[in-house]
A and B are shown apart, each in its own frame.
Chain A
C-alpha cells in the first residue's frame, strides 16, 4: 500500500514513519506542506493508495488540500484519512464535506491506525474490484461517454455536488461523531419512488443523471442546515442534519419536488411521468443507542414507507412555501 502522509510537524511525520513501518507499511512518502503534497501526488508515477492529512497547517490547511486532491481525477476515490488533534464537530463536518473518507484523532494509536488502514485498503479494493466503477472513473478521466452499466444496489459516487459524499465516508463520519459522544445529529432518509423501474428503463448515464439531480435537489433544500448527504444505492439517500434542525419532512419533500421541477425532471400535475422523492421522518442520535448503521437504516425505511403525496396537495404546499 503506497501511502502519503502530510503534517507540518516533522516529529509527527517521524512518529508516523516509525508506526507505519512497525505495522508493515514500508512504502510511505512524507510532506510537511500542502504544496509539497500536491507536487508528490502530481509527479508520482503510480498513484498513492491512501493519504493521511493533518488539518491545521500553515498556508493551505488540510481541508482545502483535501478538496484540491479530490479535484484530481486519479484521486477521486482514494481513501483520505484526516489525522488531527482537533476534535470539534465543525472540523469533522468540514473534513467529510471536503471529501475525506475517515477521521482519526491524535495522539496516533498504532492499533487504531492499523484498523483504519485496513478499512482504507478494503475501500480501495472495493473500487478496484468494481469494473463498473473503474470504467466510470476512466470515462470521467478521459471525458467520454457512455457510462458502463452499474447495479441498482451499487452506491455509486455522485461527484461535484456540494456536501454529497460517498456512503462509506458517511458511515465513518457518523462513527467518528459517535466515538466523540457528539449525539446532537439526526438522519433523514430519501427514496426515489419506483427507482428500480427507472434504473431498468434508463441508460446508465441517464439513471446517473437522475441520481445527480436528486442529490443536487436534496443538497439545495438542506443547505441551510449544512446537511451531509450520501447515495446508498437502490434510489435511497441519507442526509445527516443537526438534531435540532426541526425540518418539516413535507416541506422538504415539496422543496425537492420544486427543485426537480426546475430541473425538468418532475411534472407537478402529470403524476405518471415524473421523478418523485419521498422524505422520511428524522431519526435522531441518542446516548442510549441508535448506532450509525441503525440510524441510516431507520431513516431510509421511514422514507420508503411514506405514502405518496397527492399531486394537488404537493403543488399547494410548494406554492405556500414560495409565497
Chain B
C-alpha cells in the first residue's frame, strides 16, 4: 500500500516537473507576442485584435501559473485577463489603454525574471 502511494506520488512529481518545463517553454513565444501587442494596442485600428490576443495570453497563464509554482504570475495574469476583457467589450478608451500599459509592462518583466531565473 505504502509502495503504491509512493509510486503514485513519484509519478505525480514527474508529471508536474514535465508540465512545469512545458509551461516555461511556452512563456518565450508568449512574451514576444505580448510585447508586440503592447505596442499594437495603442493604435485604435489594431487595438481590438491586440486586446483579444493579450486577453487570451493572460488567461492562458492565469489558469496554469499557480499550479506550476508561479502564484504571483498567475494572480497578475488574472488581473490582466479582467482588464483586457473590459477593454475588449467597450469602445476604444484611450485612458483605459494607458492605464493598462504599466501593469502589462510589470507583467512582462515578471515573466522575463522567471525565465532568467530558471533557464
Contact = CB atoms under 8 A, between A and B. Distances in A.
Interface stretch (B36-44, B63-71, B100-108, B110-118): B63-71
Interface in A89-108: 106-108
Interface stretch (A12-20, A165-173, A178-186): A12-20
A21 B19 contact: no
Given A88-B82, A107-B71, A11 B26 contact: yes
| Contact-residue bracket for chain A | 20 to 34
Contacts of A88: 82
A56 interface: yes
A54 B18 CA distance: 22
B23 to A, nearest CB: 6
B78 A15 contact: no
A87 interface: yes
B86 to A, nearest CB: 10
Interface residues of B, number: 25
B99 interface: no
A9 interface: yes
A107 B8 contact: no
Interface string B7-26: 01101100110110011001
A18 B71 contact: no
B1 to A, nearest CB: 12
A304 to B, nearest CB: 41
Nearest to B69: A107
Contacts of B23: 11
Contacts of B60: 9
Contacts of B63: 9, 12, 54, 84-85, 106-107
A85 B67 CA distance: 12
B2 to A, nearest CB: 15
A22 interface: yes
B59 A56 contact: yes
10 contacts: A11-B23, A14-B18, A14-B19, A15-B15, A15-B68, A18-B12, A21-B15, A85-B62, A107-B66, A108-B67
The 5 closest A-B pairs by CB, nearest first: A107-B66, A18-B15, A22-B12, A107-B67, A85-B63
Given A9-B64, A21-B12, A107-B64, 5 more contacts: A11-B23, A15-B15, A22-B9, A85-B74, A107-B63
